[in-house]
Chain A
């Protein structure tokens, strides 16, 4: 029993497995990037016109009868083909163009059908075919463009490519997603030359900009150097100033000791000087007290003594003068009185003489000489006085010989008078040769000799002494 059950289960399992295998054989699923091309039996057409004879399935599964229908897959993946084409541009310049074409089978059934008819067995060769097609077309495209367009005007390139290839590729059921020119080889150097002016201008501008930048940088650098130098200079100046102040302070500090010493010494010297001055003053005072004062005292003493002596002398002299004066006055009074008396006498005598003269006049008329002698004899006292008057002007007379000298002096003076007398005698003598001398006649009543004449006043005794 269990064996039977196991058999049945095994059989059923086998059937199921067989069924699954059969289904797997019959059921085909199209991947997203592929289209199933099913042919071989009459079948319902989907979206295609009559007469195509095959069925296209995309994106889903479909039941395929094995043995009766053939299923082929057409890849809808992207393909690319490299292009290496020698072209000539619109200007006749030969170029080697390297590009790439990216294409795929169109997603619509028409495109798929067209592509399936053309490439189903040659899917590996599709790129080659496309290359062949595009090589020709690229020549046409490049021939319609200039180098400048190719380099600069992408729109024009793609537009030309569409115009040249669009319908062509449509026939093949392909879509050109992209046509790119990777590289343009330029054997003639046209592009290089084309770029040369611009390159030169760019180089020029670059050099100008570089030079300008260099200049600015140099200026900035030099300015910075200048500022640095300025700052350094300022700093150096400041440092030097501070150093100078420091040195000054140091020097001052170094000098402070000596300076203080000097000041102290100066103070000492001042004090010493002061002391010396004081000592000098003291000595002066001492000297004043010791020397001068005594000297002064002595001088004063001497002077006082001298003055006293002088005063005494003066007093003596005055006294003597007063005495002399008094004596003189007394004598004068006496003389006056004597004179008056004598005048009276003389007058009386004169009157008498007048009589005599009258009498004599007659005689004189005969003997003039006698008259002259007479008159001379009468004037004798005046003559002697005039001789004595030589002493009248003598202030002080030093008598060296004392009383003898005085007598000599007077004798001489009187001798002078005597000389005059002699002269008169000679005169009279000469006159008397013709007549008798009146003197000898004794005409003079009074003592005619002046030497013995007592009537003559002693003028020599009158010694005026001025105080």
Chain B
């Protein structure tokens, strides 16, 4: 049941609340056998990621914050 930070990084997630500068976004990530949502911020700082976009978790800040980047280079 060990859950370190490294296990979160690299996971795929889906944006459920728009991620962008000045916004508190939300992504849902499959983790620990279920799906949990995390507060999300753009990894690049200026990127705006709309809802429904697949993202990769770049950074994980305990307890519930992730930095994400759009997966397919949009």
* Nearest A-chain residue to B37, judged by Cβ: A175
**B17 is an interface residue with CB less than 8 A from chain A:** yes
Choice from A46, A59, A170 contacting B63 with Cβ under 8 Å: A170
On whether A170 and B17 interact (CB within 8 A), knowing A58-B1, A107-B34, the answer reads no
Residues in chain A near residue B4, CB distance under 8 A: 47
A interface size (C-beta, 8 A): 23
On whether A159 and B18 interact (CB within 8 A), knowing A58-B1, A59-B1, A108-B3, the answer reads yes
B-contact 0/1 string along A170-184, CB 8 Å cutoff: 100101000000000
**A158 & B17 in contact (Cβ 8 Å cutoff):** yes
**B24 is an interface residue with CB less than 8 A from chain A:** yes
* Nearest B-chain residue to A158, judged by Cβ: B17
CA distance A106 to B62 in the complex (A): 11
**A163 is an interface residue with CB less than 8 A from chain B:** yes
**A119 is an interface residue with CB less than 8 A from chain B:** no
CA distance A59 to B2 in the complex (A): 12
Residues in chain A near residue B63, CB distance under 8 A: 106, 108, 110-111, 114, 170, 173
Residues in chain B near residue A155, CB distance under 8 A: 17-18, 51
Choice from B1, B32, B39 contacting A162 with Cβ under 8 Å: B39
On whether A60 and B3 interact (CB within 8 A), knowing A170-B39, A170-B64, A173-B63, the answer reads no
**A106 & B24 in contact (Cβ 8 Å cutoff):** no
**A46 & B17 in contact (Cβ 8 Å cutoff):** no
**B23 & A159 in contact (Cβ 8 Å cutoff):** yes
**B59 is an interface residue with CB less than 8 A from chain A:** no
**A47 & B1 in contact (Cβ 8 Å cutoff):** yes
* Nearest A-chain residue to B64, judged by Cβ: A170
**B18 & A175 in contact (Cβ 8 Å cutoff):** no
Choice from A46, A163, A173 contacting B24 with Cβ under 8 Å: A163
**A266 is an interface residue with CB less than 8 A from chain B:** no
Residues in chain A near residue B18, CB distance under 8 A: 155, 159
**B24 & A166 in contact (Cβ 8 Å cutoff):** yes
**B17 & A175 in contact (Cβ 8 Å cutoff):** no
Residues in chain B near residue A158, CB distance under 8 A: 17
Residues in chain A near residue B34, CB distance under 8 A: 107
**A162 & B26 in contact (Cβ 8 Å cutoff):** yes
Choice from A59, A107, A162 contacting B36 with Cβ under 8 Å: A107
Choice from B1, B23, B36, B62 contacting A60 with Cβ under 8 Å: B1
**B53 is an interface residue with CB less than 8 A from chain A:** no
**A430 is an interface residue with CB less than 8 A from chain B:** no
**B62 & A162 in contact (Cβ 8 Å cutoff):** no
**A109 is an interface residue with CB less than 8 A from chain B:** yes
**A342 is an interface residue with CB less than 8 A from chain B:** no
* Nearest A-chain residue to B20, judged by Cβ: A159
* Nearest B-chain residue to A169, judged by Cβ: B64
* Nearest A-chain residue to B61, judged by Cβ: A170
Choice from B23, B32, B65 contacting A163 with Cβ under 8 Å: B23
CA distance A114 to B64 in the complex (A): 12
**A444 is an interface residue with CB less than 8 A from chain B:** no
B-contact 0/1 string along A37-59, CB 8 Å cutoff: 00000000011000000000111
Q: Which 4 A-B pairs have the closest CB atoms?
A: A110-B63, A163-B24, A110-B62, A162-B24
Interface residues of B (CB under 8 A from A): 1-4, 17-18, 23-26, 32, 34, 36-37, 39, 51, 62-65
Interface residues of A (CB under 8 A from B): 46-47, 57-60, 106-111, 114, 155, 158-159, 162-163, 166-167, 170, 173, 175
Given contacts A59-B1, A166-B24, 15 further A-B pairs with CB under 8 A are A47-B1, A47-B2, A57-B1, A106-B36, A108-B36, A111-B64, A114-B63, A159-B17, A162-B25, A162-B39, A163-B23, A167-B39, A170-B39, A170-B64, A175-B37
